[in-house]
Structure 1
Amino acid sequence: MKVFLTRLNDAYHFETKNERGDVVHLDNKSEENPQGSSPMDLILRGISGCSSIDVVMILKKQHLELEDLQVEVEGFREDGAVLNVFKKIHLNFILKGEVPDAKALRAVALSMEKYCSVAKMLEKAAEITYEVNLNGKLLQ
C-alpha cells in the first residue's frame, strides 16, 4: 500500500493519491476556506468505512441485505494537549432492513472487536465504543 502527497497551494491544501489513482484532498481545518478533510477527520472516516465494509460483508455471507447503513462517528480529544490525539471514539451504527436484532448486533460486534483493522489499530490509543440502531430501535 502506497500513497503519494502533493502540495497544491502555498498554505495547507494537499492532494493525496493512492496506487489506483483515487484522490483525497487534505487541508488544515483552521484555514478560512478548507479545501479538504483534516488528517484527524480522515481517521474517523477510516474507522467508519472499515467497520461498514465488515458489517455489510458479514450480513451478505448470511444472505441478509441491508436497505441502508449509516454510521455517525464522534472523536473526543484532550483539550489543550500538545499531542491532541483521540482519547475516545464513539460509533453509532444506524441499520435499516429485514435483519434479526441478534444478527445485526453480532455483525457490528465482530467488526469492531475482531475484523476492523482500523479499530484494532486505534484501540491502542483510544477507548472505542459503539451502539447499534436497527430500524429506529436501539439494540442492547
Structure 2
Amino acid sequence: MKIHLKRINKEYRFETTNERGDVVYLDNKSVENPQGASPMDLLLRGLAGCSSIDVVMILKKQKIELDDLEVEVEGFREDGAIPNVFKGIHLHFILQGDAPAAKAIRAVELSMDKYCSVSKMLEKAAEITYSITLNGEKLK
C-alpha cells in the first residue's frame, strides 16, 4: 500500500493519491473554509468503511442482503492535549433489511472484535464501543 501526498495551495490543502489513482483531499480544519477532510476525520471514516465492508461481506456469505447500512461514528478527544489523540470512539450501526437480529449482531461483533483492521489498530489507543439498530429497533 502506497500513498502520494502533494501540497496544492499555500496553506494546508493537500491532495493524496493511492496506487489506483483514487484522490482524497486533506485540509486543516482550523482554516476559514477547509476544502478537505482532516487526518483525524479520515481515521473515523476509515473505521466506518472497514467495519461496514466486513458487515456486508459476513452477511452476504450467509445469503443475507441488507437494504441499507449507515454508520455514525463519533470520536472523543481530550481537550487541550498534545497530541490530541482519540481516547474513545463510538460507532452506531443502522441496518435496514431482512436480516435476523442475531445474525446482524454477530456480523457487527465479528467485524469489530476480529476482522476490521482499522478497529484492531485504533483499539490500542482508544476505547471503541458500538451500538446496533436494525429496522428502527435498537439491538445493542
Q: Normalising by the residue count of structure 1, what TM-score does the alignment of the two structures yield?
A: 0.99
Is 1:125 the equivalent of 2:139? no
Runs of 4+ in 1 over 2 A off after TM superposition: none
Unaligned runs of 5+ in 2: none
Structure 2 distance, partners of 1:97, 1:51, is 18
Structure 1 distance, partners of 2:49, 2:115, is 12
The equivalent residue for 2:74 is 74
Structure 1 distance, partners of 2:105, 2:125, is 24
Task: Give % identity.
Answer: 74
Structure 2 distance, partners of 1:82, 1:44, is 19
Q: Cα RMSD (Å) of the superposition?
A: 0.4
The equivalent residue for 1:84 is 84
CA shift at 1:82, angstroms? 1.1
Structure 2 distance, partners of 1:106, 1:132, is 11
SS at match of 2:138: strand
The equivalent residue for 2:10 is 10
Is 1:62 the equivalent of 2:62? yes
Structure 2 distance, partners of 1:33, 1:81, is 24
Q: 1:83-122 residue pairs with structure 2 within 5 A?
A: 83-122=83-122
CA shift at 1:11, angstroms? 0.3
Structure 2 distance, partners of 1:101, 1:17, is 39
User: How many aligned positions are there?
Assistant: 140
The equivalent residue for 1:34 is 34
Unaligned runs of 5+ in 1: none
Structure 1 distance, partners of 2:2, 2:84, is 26
SS at match of 1:30: coil
Q: Normalising by the residue count of structure 2, what TM-score does the alignment of the two structures yield?
A: 0.99
